[in-house]
Amino acid sequence: MELGYTPALDPGNPAFLADPYPTLSRLRETTPVFYDEVRERWFVTRHEDVRACLRDKRLGRNFRHVMAPAEIGVPPLDPRWQAFWDTERWSLLWLEPPDHTRIRKLVAAAFTPRSVEALREPVRSLAGEFLAPLTAAGEMELLYDYAQPFSIAVICRMLGVPLDRHRDLLDWSHRMVKMYEFDVPLEAAVAANDAAAEFRDYVHGLIRERRAHPQDDMVTALVGARVDGARLSDDEIVSTVIVLLNAGHEATVNTLGNGMLAFARHPDMWRRVVGGDVTAAAAVEEMIRFDPPLQLFERWVLADDVTVGDQSIPRGAKIALLFGAANRDPRMFDDPDAFDVSRPNADQHIGFGGGIHVCIGAPLARIELAASVEALRSGWGELELVEEPRRTGAFVIWGLEGLKLRRR
């Protein structure tokens, strides 16, 4: 998109995308909270401020429960993308209390520490199974050959979604998440909307199937669930299943890609993981801190008198929180641009968000990623890049096109 001005932060600019961190750092140190007039948003960069915004109940992922779009000058949702809006409508990421609380409680029932912990061993063996043939081959494209089918298998198993359509699930998800970027081109919006329609129809079929033949899985649990005597509607179940499936692999896959690229570029750090100086779990925290798979989340200001840092921000304004900038804040992390797996406070990263929308899948993501790092360190003790990887071209969902690795 031709902006006609030079924005402080331009996520479409190839030079920025090649390495966003110098720009993010400069902004964080010079204009920690700034307004972009064309994009009509406030950007927040410092760790303390991002964390405070995530926890602030006067900020919401949505505003429609308290304000009409016209009241704050927001155009109505584009009806051409109705199928996409329909799938978002009841997504946890689109809701605020009380609907958010009602649906989150049901989903949280499946993500209790005990039930997630019970997945640790099965996930570990799944990682081993997926990696074994690739280890034998000695070369792989980490994302396509391993991370995607592995993460999809884990979340599908949890939800009770058959694996036969796993490439469709990936394709629908990849098309849909393009809607979260800035300046979405027309063809990408059409593709996202078509994907949402196909995904919605697929999940409706699954709901009918589980209603007729209940299983011991999450889709069946959502179909049968009651909150205060009321069942979830089919539309609510569709949104919930889709957000879990999409969120259940996109960020996990990109964390592994971004993180293993960091290891390929810092072989001394990989050696420390392989040698057992640091646990896989600790390495995972630094992978997320150093190059987080989600760079930006937004909030609406729902109240008067909100201040972020020293900046007062009016009701109805939109705030974009820059996770990558916060994760490299020297006020929180010493030598923040260093990839250091022995960093004592890496787990203070912003990667999983905070407040009421804090990632519900974080415990599962941590188990999956640790299992992958463990499997990789036993079979891929010395590894190298086959070629320089390319970024996807997206900023919000931050990942690689692929990562070709070779065992040395």
Instruction: Write out the residues near ligand HEM by the rule CB under 6 A.
Output: 54, 61, 92-93, 104, 155, 243-244, 247-248, 251-252, 255, 288, 293-294, 297, 351-353, 357, 359-361, 364-365
Nearer to ligand HEM, 15 or 178 (CB): 178
Q: How far is the CB of 93 from ligand HEM (least distance, A)?
A: 5
Q: How far is the CB of 53 from ligand HEM (least distance, A)?
A: 10
3-state helix, strand, coil in the chain (%, to 5): 55, 10, 35
* C-beta separation of 289 from 327 below 8 A: yes
Nearer to ligand HEM, 74 or 386 (CB): 74
Q: How far is the CB of 256 from ligand HEM (least distance, A)?
A: 9
Nearer to ligand HEM, 63 or 352 (CB): 352
Nearer to ligand HEM, 27 or 320 (CB): 320
185 phi, psi to nearest 5 deg: -65, 155
Spell 160-175 as b/e; 16+ CB within 10 A means b.
bbeeeebeebbebbbb
Nearer to ligand HEM, 94 or 406 (CB): 94
Q: How far is the CB of 405 from ligand HEM (least distance, A)?
A: 19
Determine the Cα–Cα distance for residues 197 and 214; give it in Å rounded to an integer.
Answer: 25
Q: How far is the CB of 286 from ligand HEM (least distance, A)?
A: 13
Q: How far is the CB of 169 from ligand HEM (least distance, A)?
A: 13
Distance from first CA to last CA of the chain, Å, rounded? 43
Q: How far is the CB of 363 from ligand HEM (least distance, A)?
A: 9
Q: Give the ranges where 120-265 is alpha helix by DSSP (H).
A: 120-137, 148-159, 166-176, 186-212, 218-224, 234-247, 250-265
Angle, CA 354 vertex, CA 351 and CA 360 arms, to 5°? 80
Nearer to ligand HEM, 207 or 243 (CB): 243
Q: How far is the CB of 27 from ligand HEM (least distance, A)?
A: 20
Q: How far is the CB of 362 from ligand HEM (least distance, A)?
A: 6
* C-beta separation of 142 from 375 below 8 A: no
Nearer to ligand HEM, 26 or 102 (CB): 102
Phi-psi region of 362 (alpha: psi -120 to 50; beta: other; left: phi over 0): alpha
318 phi, psi to nearest 5 deg: -110, 140
Nearer to ligand HEM, 140 or 251 (CB): 251
Determine the residue with CB nearest ligand HEM: 361
Q: Which residues share a beta bridge with 140?
A: 405
Q: How far is the CB of 54 from ligand HEM (least distance, A)?
A: 6
* C-beta separation of 364 from 116 below 8 A: yes
Determine the Cα–Cα distance for residues 4 and 355; give it in Å rounded to an integer.
Answer: 37
Q: 394 to each of 17, 38, 281, 297, 347, how far by Cα in Å?
A: 8, 19, 27, 14, 25
Angle, CA 219 vertex, CA 215 and CA 223 arms, to 5°? 95
Nearer to ligand HEM, 194 or 298 (CB): 298
Phi-psi region of 393 (alpha: psi -120 to 50; beta: other; left: phi over 0): left
The total of other beta-carbon atoms located within 10 Å of residue 137's CB is 11
Q: How far is the CB of 330 from ligand HEM (least distance, A)?
A: 22
* C-beta separation of 308 from 51 below 8 A: no
Nearer to ligand HEM, 140 or 253 (CB): 253
Determine the residue type at 379.
G
Nearer to ligand HEM, 192 or 367 (CB): 367
User: Token pair for residue 192?
Assistant: 């996202």
